[in-house]
């Protein structure tokens, strides 16, 4: 059990942090013994624990007791931990070099982390505030320059490392279902359903330019082959025949995606109202935000998508700033899907500091808009579904990989090998930290003049080879919501730390992992032991087989982990 001593205004951040780092914890109670105590408050009382981790750039009461001297303060920077640089966004201090202890983290200005050991008691002193960092990441997010770093997930990994290094047994429910490497959510924003709807407008003229002059330019830049150049020109020549119905509309997205994603539950975000630019749209091209279709134009395809196990969400126009219009957009899509709950991704990813509250008031179950238009990566610093600090019930499914950000000349403008390397880095992070990678491929990206379909097929095949869990957006959000509903309760106040896992919801599928880190446990059926220095056992749990889970955990750890046991589960 972890005890937390935090500042009063940090309570919501602490609670959300421990939904992401799903392990037993509570706010510190005087006189109670804890395996580890995490403190960010200025004044820290005497604690009964093996490990005390103190965060903060200012002076803390333990500094005087230990002879630690806080030196220069900086705003932001990069923390060097085990040769990896973690971006920091708040204030961080360097400790004077004559301070006692062993340096465990540094910044450009000096030592930012000290480890002090006395017998079986360890103190870690970090020169930044963990919970203020988490607040920034889950609200303001990361700048584009740090987009490729999963900062929240790395904060969790560091804390886990320090707990295990102190010889403390740890119970955790990781953010990845049992039997899978991580989760993948395939999504499509449907802005166009064919070029046939666009005659003599900016969309048509833009296509003709990009498929002729633009394609020739990309050929000389070695971004497309001669074959793709030829196909682009042929598409431009075929446009009159598409309009009169003699040729197939090469921007029709649904057939192509259903073939590529056969038996995979993709999510399609559909426009609720056509010919609406929306209000308060920034930028000089705001008039181009209106679409030439809406969900009522797709009765055949909405029925087919639902039959194939796909999901349909709202591609919002004004929901980001108006709860009244948000409810209207919600109801427009719900009338087609028949679903009482729904998620949204805003058209152009629009949003402001009030958007989360507005979407929640409008009745949305989740939002999927937190991502970048100009790059790929972790705007909120995590691959986990989380609850924004402004919300009570709404969850956020973060966006990580977007086709336009990878390939548009005005954005990253990457070649396919460069794009593959960038996506590969995110995949490696997902293998390490778990969570969900959310992918957005737009409706016309598979066809001329973009021809990004081949890259998408390769990406989907790579995911399949890694044994990921493919889930629809609502399905994945529901899984994380059930994980959040699991609670740890302390049983008794003395002796071994005994925990009860409490869950009263519907069966969890795919099951959760219940992971216990410890000393060389014996794996049994459906269990796996890591090959890393710190061994652990993963046991699958669907939330219902409580007695079986208790028996399996007890048989594995009762003798080997005297400081950890499970009480009855319910």
Q: What are the pLDDT digits (tens) for 348-359?
A: 999 999 999 999
* Per-residue model confidence (pLDDT) at position 257: 97
| CA 81 to centroid of chain Cα atoms | 22
- Asked if the model's pLDDT at residue 519 lies above 50, the reply is no
84-88, 319-323, 426-430, 523-527: segment of lowest average pLDDT: 523-527
Closest CA to 163 of 50, 29, 18: 50
Q: Once rounded to an integer, what is the mean pLDDT over residues 288-303? A: 94
Dist CA 563 CA 34 (whole Å) = 11
Q: Which residue shows structure tokens 């390490």?
A: 432
Q: Once rounded to an integer, what is the mean pLDDT over residues 540-560? A: 64
- Going by pLDDT thresholds of 50, 70 and 90, the confidence category of residue 404 is very high
Angular region, 323: left φ>0, alpha ψ -120 to 50, beta rest: alpha
Dist CA 388 CA 500 (whole Å) = 27
* Close Cβ partners of 549 (under 8 Å, ≥ 6 residues apart): 501, 514, 539, 541, 569
Over the chain, what is the mean pLDDT? Answer: 89
SS3 of 165-183: the string is HCCCCEEECCCCCCCCCCE
Residue limits of CATH 3.20.20.370 in the chain: 185-193+251-399+435-479
Task: Tell me the three state secondary structure of residue 508.
Answer: coil
Q: Which fold has domain 185-193+251-399+435-479?
A: TIM Barrel (3.20.20)
* Per-residue model confidence (pLDDT) at position 550: 59
For residues 383 and 400, is the Cβ–Cβ distance under 8 A?
A: yes
Omega of the bond leading into 61 within 30 degrees of 0 (cis): no
- Asked if the model's pLDDT at residue 494 lies above 80, the reply is no
Question: What predicted TM-score, i.e. pTM, was given to this entire model?
Answer: 0.92
pLDDT tens-digit readout, 260-289: 999 999 999 999 999 999 999 998 888 899
- Going by pLDDT thresholds of 50, 70 and 90, the confidence category of residue 178 is very high
62-71, 117-126, 508-517: segment of lowest average pLDDT: 62-71
- Asked if the model's pLDDT at residue 524 lies above 70, the reply is no
pLDDT tens-digit readout, 74-128: 888 899 998 899 999 999 999 888 888 889 999 987 999 999 998 889 999 999 9
Q: Once rounded to an integer, what is the mean pLDDT over residues 136-141? A: 96
* Per-residue model confidence (pLDDT) at position 380: 97
Residue limits of CATH 3.40.50.880 in the chain: 2-172
- Going by pLDDT thresholds of 50, 70 and 90, the confidence category of residue 495 is very low
15-19, 80-84, 439-443: segment of lowest average pLDDT: 80-84
102-116, 170-184, 366-380: segment of lowest average pLDDT: 102-116
Q: Which fold has domain 2-172?
A: Rossmann fold (3.40.50)
* Per-residue model confidence (pLDDT) at position 96: 87
Percent of the chain with pLDDT over 90: 66
Q: Once rounded to an integer, what is the mean pLDDT over residues 142-170? A: 95
Residues facing residue 366 across a β-bridge: 343, 395
């Amino acid at each position: 059990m972890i005890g937390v001593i935090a500042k009063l205004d940090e309570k919501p951040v602490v609670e959300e942090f421990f939904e992401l780092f799903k392990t037993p914890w509570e706010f510190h109670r005087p006189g109670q013994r804890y395996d580890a105590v995490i403190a960010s408050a200025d004044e820290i009382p005497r604690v009964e624990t093996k490990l005390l981790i103190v965060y903060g750039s200012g002076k803390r009461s333990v500094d005087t007791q230990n002879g630690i001297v806080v030196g220069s303060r900086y705003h932001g920077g990069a923390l060097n931990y085990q040769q990896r640089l973690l971006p920091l966004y708040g204030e961080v201090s360097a400790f004077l070099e004559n301070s006692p202890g062993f340096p465990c983290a540094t910044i450009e200005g000096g030592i930012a982390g000290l480890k002090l050991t006395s017998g079986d008691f360890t103190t870690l002193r970090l020169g930044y505030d963990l919970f203020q960092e988490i607040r920034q990441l889950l609200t303001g997010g990361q700048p584009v320059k740090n987009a490729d770093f999963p900062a929240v997930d790395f904060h969790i990994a560091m804390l886990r490392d320090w707990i295990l290094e102190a010889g403390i047994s740890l119970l955790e429910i990781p953010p990845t279902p049992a039997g899978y490497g991580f989760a993948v959510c395939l999504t499509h924003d449907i802005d166009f359903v064919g070029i046939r709807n666009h005659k003599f407008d900016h969309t048509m003229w833009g296509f003709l330019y990009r498929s002729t002059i633009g394609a020739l330019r990309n050929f000389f830049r070695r971004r497309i082959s001669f074959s793709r150049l030829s196909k682009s020109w042929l598409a431009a020549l075929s446009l009159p025949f598409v309009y009169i119905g003699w040729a197939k509309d090469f921007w029709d997205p649904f057939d192509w995606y259903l073939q590529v994603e056969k038996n995979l539950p993709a999510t399609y975000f559909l426009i609720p109202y056509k010919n609406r630019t929306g209000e308060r749209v920034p930028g000089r091209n705001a008039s181009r935000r209106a679409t030439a279709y809406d969900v009522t134009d797709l009765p055949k395809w909405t029925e087919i998508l639902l039959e194939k196990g796909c999901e349909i969400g709202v591609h919002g126009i004004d929901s980001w700033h108006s709860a009244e219009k948000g409810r209207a957009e919600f109801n427009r899509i719900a009338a087609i899907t028949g679903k009482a709950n729904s998620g949204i991704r805003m058209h152009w990813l629009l949003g402001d500091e009030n958007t989360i509250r507005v979407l929640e008031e409008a009745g949305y179950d989740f939002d999927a808009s937190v991502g970048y238009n100009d790059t790929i990566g972790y705007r909120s610093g995590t691959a986990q579904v989380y609850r924004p600090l402004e919300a009570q019930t709404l969850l956020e499914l973060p966006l990580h990989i977007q086709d336009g950000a990878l390939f548009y000349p005005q954005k990253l403008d990457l070649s396919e090998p460069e794009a593959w390397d960038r996506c590969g880095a995110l995949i490696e992070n997902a293998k390490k930290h778990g969570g969900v990678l959310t992918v957005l491929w737009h409706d016309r990206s598979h066809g001329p003049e973009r021809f990004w379909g081949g890259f998408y097929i390769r990406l989907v095949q790579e995911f399949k080879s890694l044994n990921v869990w493919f889930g629809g957006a609502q399905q994945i959000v529901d899984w994380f919501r059930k994980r959040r509903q699991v609670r740890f309760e302390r049983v008794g106040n003395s002796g071994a730390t005994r925990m009860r896992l409490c869950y009263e919801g519907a069966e969890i599928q795919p099951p959760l992992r219940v992971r216990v880190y410890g000393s060389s446990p014996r794996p049994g059926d459906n269990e796996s032991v890591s090959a890393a220095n710190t061994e652990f056992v993963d046991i699958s749990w669907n939330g219902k087989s409580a007695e079986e889970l208790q028996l399996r955990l007890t048989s594995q750890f009762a003798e080997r982990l005297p400081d950890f046991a499970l009480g009855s589960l319910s």
